[in-house]
Amino acid sequence: MKKVLSLRRNIKIDRMEYTAIITEVEDGWYMGQCEQVPGAITQGQTVEEVQENLKEAIVLVLQSEQEHCRKRYEGEIFIRKEIAFA
C-alpha cells in the first residue's frame, strides 16, 4: 500500500516555488513528481534525495521545453517576453 508522505513540499528554484508529491513505494524507496511540471518525476532512497532529484528534473524538463519551443518558432517573426511574478 502506498503512503502519501507530503502534499506540500515546496521546492524553490529561481524565484518560483514548485510543489512536489512524494510517496513511499516498494523497499523503502520514495517517488516524487512536480505538480506544476508534467514529466518531472524521480525517485530516491530518502525524501531529501527525491527533493534534490526533483530540482534537477524540473530544470531539465524546462530546458527541454524551451528548446522545443525555440525550434518550433525558428525562422518566424515573433515576440518573446519574460513574465515575472512578484
Residue-level pLDDT at 42: 97
Give every CB contact of residue 62 below 8 A, 6+ residues apart in sequence. Answer: 37
Handedness of CA 63, 65, 71, 76 (dihedral sign): negative
Q: Which residue has the cell 505538480?
A: 35
Cα torsion 10, 48, 52, 4: sign: negative
78 in a structural domain:
no
Residue 62 located in a structural domain: yes
Q: Tell me, yes or no, whether 43 lies in a domain.
A: yes
Residue 7 lies in a domain: yes
DSSP string, 15-68: TEEEEEEEEE-GGG-EEEEESSSTT-EEEESSHHHHHHHHHHHHHHHHHHHHHH
In a domain, residue 53? The reply is: yes
Confidence label for 78 from pLDDT (cuts 50, 70 and 90) = confident
Indicate the average pLDDT of the chain.
83
Q: Which three cell numbers stand for residue 68?
A: 522545443
Q: Domain count of the chain?
A: 1
Question: Quick check: is 82 in a domain?
Answer: no
Does residue 79 have a pLDDT over 90? no
19-46 pLDDT per residue, tens: 999 999 989 999 999 999 999 999 999 9
**Domain CATH for 62:** 3.30.160
Q: Which domain holds residue 23?
A: 3-72
